[in-house]
Structure 1
Amino acid sequence: MTPQFASLSDFLAMGGYAPFVFGAWGLSVAVIIGLIVRVIIHGRYQKARLAALRSEKAESPTP
């Protein structure tokens, strides 16, 4: 099995395509992190909303 790149600097250069390769990886990681943060924030919002609805229901008189 022969290595694709002769050295670490050749690997990091990616044959001249390094900005595109690492840019794509960076953008992908940024999008995934953004989605995770959005899910966490939305989940907290929904839990707070559910708690408010439950307390509102408990306070309202039942007929």
Structure 2
Amino acid sequence: MGEVVYKVTGMSCAHCVTAVTKAMTDVEGVGDVRVDLDSGTVAVTEQAPVSLQSVSAALAAAGYELAQA
């Protein structure tokens, strides 16, 4: 599929990186996940189409949220 980059709020430490990586890896269709703490972004390689709603729900369950565009 391709790579999508999401802006995520609430990340501040290595634990956040681990939690967000786990949350995103559990989303159906997500392959590789790379979290950049400095920029507050998460780059996701999709193996199948991934809905914004499923990404938002997974992040919310882990205590984070998508930044407003």
TM-score (norm 1): 0.25
Identify the structure with bigger relative contact order (alpha carbons < 8 Å, sequence gap 6+). 2
Q: Which has the higher helix share?
A: 1
Structure 1 or 2, whichever has the larger Rg, is 1
Q: Which has the higher strand share?
A: 2
TM-score (norm 2): 0.23
